[in-house]
């Protein structure tokens, strides 16, 4: 099955991942990703789930289908960070939230 030749690249860039970073996360060679992005050929079925997870999209969206309702989980690097934070003990999570809130409050004050 083929998809729009730039669809995979757009999803990867939207997730904020380089070609090498996505390849590392899904256990593939960057050259395979380059091929899939430029040819419009979809990856093998065993790569679809890890790729969708790394990009923070559903398999349907990865395949170019209509975007389903958002699952609330950010994609890309932010999604990986959120996953790591969610596995922290409650006290550490609270510290991270406090830091982020401080940063966001400072950003709002600059506007």
Residue 69 lies in a domain: no
Residue 68 placed within a domain = no
Range of the domain at 30: 7-62
Counting the structural domains of the chain, the total is 2
Task: Tell me the CATH number at 27.
Answer: 1.10.260.40
Question: pLDDT per residue over 26-53, tens digit each?
Answer: 999 999 999 998 888 888 889 999 999 9
Q: Please indicate, yes or no, whether the overall pTM of this predicted structure exceeds 0.75.
A: no
Is residue 82, in this structure, part of any structural domain at all?
Answer: yes
Same domain, yes or no: 58 and 84: no
Give Cα separations from 19 to 8, 25, 51, 76 (angstroms).
Answer: 11, 10, 12, 12
53 and 96 in a single domain? The answer is no
Band (25; pLDDT cuts 50, 70, 90): very high
Residues 20 and 57 in one domain: yes
Say whether both 58 and 80 belong to one domain: no
Which residue shows structure tokens 């079925």?
Answer: 45
> Alpha carbon 28 to chain centroid distance?
16
Verify that 52 and 86 share a domain, yes or no.
Answer: no
Q: Do residues 17 and 77 make contact, with C-beta atoms less than 8 angstroms apart?
A: yes
């Amino acid at each position: 099955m083929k998809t729009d030749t730039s669809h995979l690249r757009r999803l990867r860039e939207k997730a904020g991942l380089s070609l090498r970073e996505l390849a590392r996360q899904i256990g593939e060679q960057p050259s395979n990703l380059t091929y899939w992005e430029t040819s419009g050929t979809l990856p093998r079925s065993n790569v679809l789930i890890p790729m969708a997870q790394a990009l923070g999209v559903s398999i349907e969206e990865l395949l170019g289908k209509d975007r389903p309702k958002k699952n609330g989980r950010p994609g890309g690097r932010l999604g990986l960070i959120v996953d790591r934070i969610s596995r922290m003990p409650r006290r550490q999570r609270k510290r991270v939230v406090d830091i982020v809130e401080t940063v966001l409050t400072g950003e709002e004050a600059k506007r």
